[in-house]
Amino acid sequence: MEISTLTAYHCLLFVWYFFLIYAIAHVRAEERPSEVFLYGGQWKYLTILNLVLQAVFYGVSFLADVLRLIKKLRCAKCIISSRDLLFSVLAFPVSTFVSISFWILYTYNRELVYPKSLDAVIPLWLNHAMHTAVLPFAVLEILATPHHYPAKKKGLILLGCAFFLYTGWVLWIYSVTGEWVYPLFALFNPAGLVAFFAGSLGVIITFYNFGEFLNRMIWGQSKFCF
């Protein structure tokens, strides 16, 4: 993709995700189901955190494109390194995990992840913007431009740290409120919960490897070219 086209594309997606964050943050308080928006507010949900993550990623990508357009290559190289690390370790695997896991659980029993009471608050288009569109956008990003993946050990350590930070946040909320972020977790005993979290980590690592595989199949092992 031409750099000018890529710049416009990344700018549009940055604005899009910023708009989604604005839209979900301004859901009218009086209409919010009391059992959903308690301690931690919207920031306890991986879906919302992923929107912030995607906005940051596309903002960084847009900045890198602008620096390339104005020939600030030394600065661009640094920003591109940050962009690629952010995409490979977080933006692609998390968006893939959010989309696929949400719709599998929604199809099985929506009350486990997205109570029906939310339909009166969050319109259908916003639900799909948060849980459906994030996946094709992530795949399109791989098709649009090459990304240099870190060494496998480094990438998985960073991904694991992010996973355990979010898991810790979920457990902290439960310790304070006695309520799980997602009703799904209430179905498990402690051993089952550990197994579920371990399985989730395995799945998100699989998505990390899948993103790396796609990037390699499309772009090969070559470094980013200025």
Tell me what pLDDT residue 225 has: 43
* Alpha carbon distance 91, 60 (integer Å): 12
Whether pTM > 0.85 for this model: the answer is yes
Tell me what pLDDT residue 186 has: 92
Question: Along the 226 residues of the chain, how does pLDDT read in single tens digits?
Answer: 788 899 999 999 999 999 999 999 887 655 555 555 567 778 899 999 999 999 999 999 999 999 988 877 778 888 999 999 999 999 999 999 999 999 999 999 999 999 888 888 889 999 999 999 999 999 999 999 999 999 999 999 999 999 999 999 999 999 998 889 999 999 999 999 999 999 999 999 999 999 999 999 999 865 444 4
